[in-house]
Structure 1
Amino acid sequence: MKSTFRTVDASRISISELMLPSHSNFSGKIHGGHILRLLDQIAFACASKHSKMYCVTASVDTVNFLAPIEVGELVTMKASVNFVGNTSMVVGIRVEAENIQTGVTKHCNSSYFTMVAKDDHGKSVKVPGLILNDKKEVKRFLNAVIRNKTKQQRTIEFDHQDFSLDDYIPDLEGYKVQIELPNE
């Protein structure tokens, strides 16, 4: 695939679904697993729309459940590609729930899915670049860059052969944890 660029707007997608009693958990709220399934579906659709390829979920970096969703509410998920790498894309998703009787809408979830484009043989393929048209799109791209750098730094730091637990024990003060390591 030759290198091309597409706008964020070209990847935007939204879905809406009425929340039914069959989607609820034992407390009567919509089950988080149902929302996760919908999030994965819209991330797939958004990434596939941008790349024009079949895409798979590589990781879910953040899923923040901010407010419960009630049976009978209309849930709308809005997704767009926030970042592209060589073969991967970060899809940002906002979830809102609307009480269809009152019209009151609430922000219920924000999520970031990393999706990878695949060819017909399951090999990762290059994805088009991203054209950023406004400050919000630039901010989202930069946020993804920072999340990736932080994740990479944490991996390097904790997986390094010279990692010393003693350097981090003081950082645990104030947390609800008790350390009982065997004598080495």
Structure 2
Amino acid sequence: MQVAGKPAKDSRTVTTQIIFPVDANHNETMFGGKLMEIMDKTAAIAALRHARMQVVTASTDSLDFLAPIQVGEAIEAEAFVTWTHRTSMEVFVSVMAENVQTGERKRTVTGFFTFVAMQDGKPSAVPPVIPESELEKHLFQTAGARYELRQKRKQDRQIDL
């Protein structure tokens, strides 16, 4: 039985918060690990919205830190499902930082997260995604190549160390 597809925009999730000194390192820039946590949670909600069942993070890749985030800036993490396989979903996350006093905004990090839908403790089928915007279509069309790279990387790590 083929499951009906869902538009990518239906999984869109945005998380916004201000960066405090506790979120930062000695340079007064945000800890990368703290930012990754926010990205993972935002991506998880997007995956949950698409699958409508429990999900687990299976992979994080292509995290590209483009600019530092300063204490006092607001960040906006936006995520949506870009592509699906049988039980997995690729989720794109982009983070913008904003100087709330000047209004200046900059893209600070992008990345891809893979989630697996789970039902009764087992991977479960997810609906296909329907891309509509130009960005959604581009990420959808290039997702197969990223999937193959993740599979190869996973296979390469199966060796005994």
Alignment gaps of 5+ in structure 1: 160-184
Aligned to 1:59: 59
**Distance (Å, rounded) in 2 between the aligned partners of 1:95 and 1:132:** 20
User: What letter is aligned with 1:149?
Assistant: E
3-state SS of paired residue (2:140): helix
3-state SS of paired residue (1:28): coil
Summarize the Cα distance change of 1:47–1:154 in structure 2 as closer, same or farther, 3 Å threshold.
closer
Q: How far is the alpha carbon of 1:155 from its aligned partner? A: 6.4
Q: How far is the alpha carbon of 1:140 from its aligned partner? A: 0.3
- 4+ aligned runs moved over 4 Å, structure 1: 153-156
Aligned to 1:111: 111
**Distance (Å, rounded) in 1 between the aligned partners of 2:84 and 2:93:** 15
Q: How far is the alpha carbon of 1:149 from its aligned partner? A: 2.3
Aligned to 1:168: none
Size of the aligned set, in residue pairs, is 159
Contact between 2:94 and 2:109, CA under 8 Å: does it hold in 1?
yes
Q: How far is the alpha carbon of 1:4 from its aligned partner? A: 2.0
User: What letter is aligned with 1:105?
Assistant: R
Are 1:97 and 2:68 counterparts?
Answer: no
Summarize the Cα distance change of 1:151–1:41 in structure 2 as closer, same or farther, 3 Å threshold.
closer
Aligned to 2:86: 86
Which structure: larger Rg?
Answer: 1
Identity of aligned pairs, percent? Answer: 34
User: What letter is aligned with 2:59?
Assistant: S
Summarize the Cα distance change of 1:54–1:154 in structure 2 as closer, same or farther, 3 Å threshold.
closer
Summarize the Cα distance change of 1:155–1:100 in structure 2 as closer, same or farther, 3 Å threshold.
closer
Contact between 2:7 and 2:131, CA under 8 Å: does it hold in 1?
yes
Q: How far is the alpha carbon of 1:43 from its aligned partner? A: 0.9
Instruction: State the Cα deviation string for residues 91-129 of structure 1 (Å, max 9, x = none).
Output: 00000000000000000000100001111x211100011
Taking CA–CA contacts closer than 8 Å with sequence separation of 6 or more, which of the two structures ends up with the larger relative contact order?
2
Summarize the Cα distance change of 1:84–1:34 in structure 2 as closer, same or farther, 3 Å threshold.
same
Following superposition of structure 1 onto structure 2, how do residues 151-170 of structure 1 map, counting pairs within 5 Å? Answer: 151-152=150-151
Summarize the Cα distance change of 1:14–1:155 in structure 2 as closer, same or farther, 3 Å threshold.
closer
**Distance (Å, rounded) in 2 between the aligned partners of 1:58 and 1:103:** 36
Contact between 2:13 and 2:43, CA under 8 Å: does it hold in 1?
no
Aligned to 2:136: 137
Alignment gaps of 5+ in structure 2: none
Q: Calculate the TM-score normalised by the size of structure 1.
A: 0.80
Q: Comparing both structures, which one devotes a greater share of its residues to strand?
A: 2
Q: How far is the alpha carbon of 1:26 from its aligned partner? A: 1.9
Are 1:127 and 2:101 counterparts?
Answer: no
Are 1:37 and 2:62 counterparts?
Answer: no
Comparing 2-11 with 73-82, greater Cα deviation is found at: 2-11
Comparing 143-152 with 97-106, greater Cα deviation is found at: 143-152
Q: How far is the alpha carbon of 1:144 from its aligned partner? A: 1.4
Summarize the Cα distance change of 1:47–1:132 in structure 2 as closer, same or farther, 3 Å threshold.
same
